[in-house]
Amino acid sequence: MIDRRAFLALAALVPFAGMRRLALAAASSNTRKLLVLVELRGGNDGLNTVVPFGDPLYARLRPRLAIARERLLDLDTHVGLHPSLAPLGEVWFAGELAVVQGVGYPDPNLSHFRSIEIWNTASSAAEYLDAGWLGRAFARFPSPERYAADGVVVGPGGMGPLAGGGRSIALNEPQQFVRNARFARDAAEPRNAALARILQVERDVLVAAGRLDRGAAVATEFPAHPFGRASQVAARLAANDAGIAVVRLSLDGFDTHANQPAVHANLLRQLSEGLCALRAALIDMGRWQSTVVATYSEFGRRPRENQSAGTDHGTANTHVVLGGAVRGGLYGSHPALDRLDANGNIAYSVDFRAYYATFLERWWGMDSRAVLGGEFTPLGFLPTFA
């Protein structure tokens, strides 16, 4: 019999979401196309990420936090990238970077916990769903059996959008994952049915772990900071022949209520360095055309700065999408700083579920209505699925 400590270690070893996939529909072979999601945890300040320098209200609302135009990388005559994102300029000028402005949803929630739950499950503000939007997608449209996993979560933060369906694995580093997964291989078969079920799951995990570990070397040099290391893991997973549809990364620290300028600049520097290294690795291995990288966050920040040189919880936000197949450019609407809501926040112009529908329909050829529970028109930053 396995003891309690071993039981708990095994149960927490690797969250595997829905080992028995629902064979309700055949998955497209194009789920070989990889989606890398990057969660900017804490609520990124979109206004100081893609800066609306062309609107004089921006500097008035942020007398201390506004970034001067001469420090920005201009995207057009109205907005520019934060200086820390300057390395992404190469991606922009290559036409491989899309900037999606005004992403949000009706009746926005300003709680970290509730709003990220809404983003993870693609629910409405008044709706509570158990499964993540990608968990539902892979339960309804499974990836081929030969795949090691539908999705891999790198780092902390739970399964997020991959929760509740499909085959998804959480890990920090592939080799460590393999070593840890061997924990229960030699455990005696328990008589308890629940424990037997856990051990069967563990064996499935072990098989996936071994497949994830094959041929994953990447020659590209990555930054030494945590997001750089996570991006390197993403590259190694992309290099794997076993097949993975989604990798979820995260970068924490964006809840910038105080002393925002230096903190935000450092976070965006880590983001741009990690993404640029990931792009270089994907180009080297021939996977850049078949990979899309996209950011998301629970909410943006309020346009008006607070008294602590920071910003408070806001609503609509700006996100970036990059990849060899991405149609670069600006999408959505510039933030309307002259038409803030009663709480002083920006109105959304792009429903976040339309953002998700773009990946589901145009990247994988899935029926987004079956996953999102409604009609959301995909955006144009990806070509029509063929």
Per-residue model confidence as pLDDT tens digits over 43-75 = 999 999 999 999 999 999 999 999 999 999 999
Structure tokens at 206: 């072990």
pLDDT band at 172 (very low <50, low <70, confident <90, very high): low
The whole-number pLDDT of residue 216 equals 56
Largest Cα–Cα distance of the chain, in whole Å?
71
Query: What are the pLDDT digits (tens) for 216-226?
Result: 578 899 999 99
Mean pLDDT on 71-82? 98
End-to-end CA distance of the chain: 53
Query: Using CB atoms within 10 A of its CB, is residue 221 exposed (0-12), middle (13-18) or buried (19+)?
Result: exposed
**213 compared with 266, residue with greater pLDDT:** 266
Average pLDDT of the segment spanning 14-43: 62
Stated pTM of the model: 0.87
- How many Cβ atoms from other residues are within 10 Å of residue 283's Cβ? 14
Q: Within a 10 A sphere around the Cβ of 229, how many other Cβ atoms?
A: 17
CA–CA separation, 162 vs 168, rounded Å? 7
Rounded Cα distance, 19 and 38, in Å: 24
- Cβ–Cβ < 8 Å for 304, 91: no
Q: Tokens 């739950």 belong to which residue?
A: 117
What are the strands of the beta sheet with 73-74, ordered from one edge? 50-51, 80-81, 73-74
Backbone torsion region of residue 277, taken as left when φ is above 0, otherwise alpha when ψ lies between -120 and 50, otherwise beta:
alpha
Query: Minimal CA–CA distance to 161: which of 113, 120, 112, 117?
Result: 120
Residues in CB range of 239: below 8 A, 6 or more apart:
215, 216, 217, 218, 281, 285, 287
Q: Burial level of 241, CB count in 10 A (0-12/13-18/19+)? A: exposed
Residue 193 has pLDDT above 50, yes or no: yes
Q: Name the nearest CA neighbour of 100 among 383, 378, 385, 384.
A: 378
Contact status, residue 27 vs residue 238, Cβ threshold 8 Å: no
